[in-house]
Structure 1
Amino acid sequence: MELDRVRAARGVIDPVFLDSPLFGCDALGRALGCAVSIKLETANPVRSFKARGTEVVVGGLRDQGQTAVVCASAGNLGWALGWSGRRHGMDVTVVASRRAPAAKLDRIRASGAVLEVVDGDFESARERAAEIARRRGIRLVEDSLDVETCEGAATIGLEVAQQAPSADAVLIALGGGAMATGVGYVLKVLAPATEVICVQPHGAPAMTRSWRERRVVTTDSADTIADGVAGRYPISAVLDDLLVVADDAVLVEEASIMAGMRLLLQHAGLVVEPSAALGVAAVLEDPDRFAGRHVVTIICGSNVDLDDYHRWVGAGPQDLGAVEAGR
């Protein structure tokens, strides 16, 4: 990855996804015992950071004269790729697991993408997407492996370095690694004193274990409500990048993820998906580490089934209704 290419990516990405808000949340900070700034990557048409990467991918394919693309997705990437494909007149096929949240699958369909649902988990979807790419001779977009997805995510790092130059630590949800490696790379160049901390659930620990052991470690299964980070097979090249830019990788419990979602609703008025609460969960589990420090947490997505959300957070419909009315 190169800083010039990350800066150039900003010229390709639709401005609606750029310069997302970063703001201090005093109420959340008081609850957590540290200064907390929220980098909000959900106030856009696909409610996640993923379109920063798909805009770069699809823009490049369009310039090459390609007209079709396929990906495997847990939900957010598929919606983002469908959105970018429609903007650039490209046919998009998305393969997703039947286990993916219904709300995410509905949004992929609504984006105009062709959705194929398969049995099994995300890895099964990845295998099917690769098969489609081979059969049709089209580009397979692999989040984190394709450098464009990392460069798009890295534009978040450019903004964080400018918006929060005094940050002591940035907490990043860790799944395949596009956001962690992209943001981490930029911060190491522009804000080297800022600690880059990746956060993953105990129920889906493959990349964190790989980072700790400095080799690819796979798992037989993934069991977490944070479906957006529930991969089992880390990509070796991505791990190599992560080893360079991440200062730490931590694992958090499911109860802490749900508590983090609840705190973000109560103190920031944000309805978020579980992956977006990983940073808050990390502070909850190790408050002494962050006490008195300035922490930035990246709110990476808000695509969540509301029935699941009610169950995890324990909020009644009237509470969510009040939040939605205030938006």
Structure 2
Amino acid sequence: MLRTRLDLDRIHAARRVIDPVFLDTPLYPCEALGRSLGCAVSVKVETANPVRSFKGRGTELVAGLLGEQGRTAVVCASAGNLGQALAWSGRRRGLDVTVVASRRASPAKLDRVRALGAELELVDGDIETARERAAGIARERGVRLLEDSLDVETCEGAATIGLELARARLDFDTVLIALGGGAMATGIGYALKSLAPGVEVICVQPAGAPAMTRSWHERRVVTTESADTIADGVAGRHPIPEVLDDLLAVADDAVLVRESSIIAGIRLLLEHTGLVVEPSAALGVAAVLEDRDRFRDRHVVTVVCGGNVDPHAHERWVRR
């Protein structure tokens, strides 16, 4: 029996709370991408929703719970995607949403947070600085602090992706999941290990932001002084101990990939699937590019987790 903070019954119940617009996202084999990578590849497209990322699955659970509790406000720190999702879910339920982000965050993501009606506060520094400020706002205002990955609703929302994969009529043996704070990896990993334990769960993180991967390999929290990657959505430096414990229970491996491979993955996804993705969404493809022999003769599913990318940056990457 898996010993984690997650619960399979709650994950099944989550599908009744999450707006269907986030559920049952496209999953299909992509022969052209597979030929390019040297293995069978299917893509799970988590960009086909109003916030263009998987984060809405978790924020729907959190916002619904706050509504039941009669709470009226919530604050979070975000590199952009969580903030958009919380703003969308909160607006539907009449919640006042505050998002704290780094001034260095993607302008495209910040613009979407504002457009969805959230109060946006920018800080100098990175996502860890934003987390400190968000915690301070929660204390000052007496409002709910949403902590991505630590709050189990964010993990169990993401786990509904795993439910969909487990019931899919696809004979896949490996799933590649972007790894940052760990909500998506622990959620999908838990669902698959509960329902399809033969599937290998491989987490993928940029070499420039390796904290959670190093922590998984050393089985203890390892922090880093900095993070340097174009994959801003997974650029944390301080893994959360409870999330690491969950990840250790459900992940079979965690690997690091180079920036050049991430960019190549962005190009391949555009060329073979027509998807415009942010760097975090290309991590799975990057992992195959860096270890083709490992994945030869396998059927891998890569989770395309977000499409909120600055168009000018995307153009530079695909034309390089």
TM-score, length-scaled by structure 2: 0.98
The DSSP-based 3-state class of the residue aligned with 2:302 is: strand
Determine the structure 2 residue equivalent to 1:122: 127
Determine the structure 1 residue equivalent to 2:213: 208
Dislocated runs of 4+, deviation >2 Å: none
Determine the structure 2 residue equivalent to 1:273: 278
CA shift in 2, pair 1:108/1:287, >3 Å: same
Is 2:21 the counterpart of 1:16? yes
Aligned residues, how many?
Answer: 315
Deviation readout 1:30-74 (Å, 9 max, x if unpaired): 000101000000000000000000000010010000000000000
- Equivalences for 1:138-153 in 2 at 5 Å? 138-153=143-158
Output the amino acid matched with 1:291. R
Determine the structure 1 residue equivalent to 2:73: 68
Output the amino acid matched with 1:155. T
Determine the structure 2 residue equivalent to 1:103: 108
Q: Give the distance between the partners of 2:266 and 2:168, measured in 1 at CA.
A: 24
Output the amino acid matched with 1:60. L
From 228, 233, 238, give the equivalent of 2:243. Answer: 238
Is 2:59 the counterpart of 1:54? yes
Q: Give the distance between the partners of 2:296 and 2:12, measured in 1 at CA.
A: 34
From 294, 301, 312, give the equivalent of 1:296. Answer: 301
Determine the structure 2 residue equivalent to 1:79: 84
User: What is the CA RMSD across the aligned residues, in angstroms?
Assistant: 0.7
Q: Give the distance between the partners of 1:292 and 1:49, measured in 2 at CA.
A: 29
Shift of 1:242: 0.2
Shift of 1:245: 0.2
Deviation readout 1:257-289 (Å, 9 max, x if unpaired): 000000000111111000000000000000000
* Range with greater deviation from structure 2 (305-314 or 293-302): 305-314
Determine the structure 1 residue equivalent to 2:229: 224
Q: Give the distance between the partners of 1:292 and 1:275, measured in 2 at CA.
A: 25
Output the amino acid matched with 2:124. D
Contact 1:53/1:152, CA 8 A, preserved across alignment: yes
Output the amino acid matched with 2:177. I
Contact 1:12/1:56, CA 8 A, preserved across alignment: yes
The DSSP-based 3-state class of the residue aligned with 1:186 is: helix
From 24, 32, 40, give the equivalent of 1:35. Answer: 40
Contact 1:165/1:191, CA 8 A, preserved across alignment: no
Is 2:205 the counterpart of 1:184? no
Deviation readout 1:111-165 (Å, 9 max, x if unpaired): 1100001110001100000000001111100000000000100000000111155
Determine the structure 2 residue equivalent to 1:253: 258
Output the amino acid matched with 2:95. M
Shift of 1:225: 0.1
Q: Give the distance between the partners of 1:29 and 1:163, measured in 2 at CA.
A: 19
Output the amino acid matched with 1:81. L
Contact 1:92/1:114, CA 8 A, preserved across alignment: yes
Q: Give the distance between the partners of 2:86 and 2:170, measured in 1 at CA.
A: 31
Determine the structure 2 residue equivalent to 1:285: 290
* Range with greater deviation from structure 2 (164-173 or 36-45): 164-173
Output the amino acid matched with 1:48. S
From 162, 165, 174, give the equivalent of 1:169. Answer: 174
Q: Give the distance between the partners of 2:264 and 2:92, measured in 1 at CA.
A: 37
Shift of 1:106: 0.1
Contact 1:221/1:232, CA 8 A, preserved across alignment: yes
Output the amino acid matched with 2:80. G
Consecutive unaligned residues of structure 2, counting only runs of 5 or more, are 1-5
Consecutive unaligned residues of structure 1, counting only runs of 5 or more, are 316-327
Q: Give the distance between the partners of 1:232 and 1:184, measured in 2 at CA.
A: 22
Q: Give the distance between the partners of 2:209 and 2:107, measured in 1 at CA.
A: 21
Output the amino acid matched with 1:206. A
Q: Give the distance between the partners of 2:74 and 2:300, measured in 1 at CA.
A: 38
From 12, 23, 39, give the equivalent of 1:7. Answer: 12
The DSSP-based 3-state class of the residue aligned with 2:238 is: coil
Q: Give the distance between the partners of 1:313 and 1:56, measured in 2 at CA.
A: 36
Determine the structure 2 residue equivalent to 1:322: none
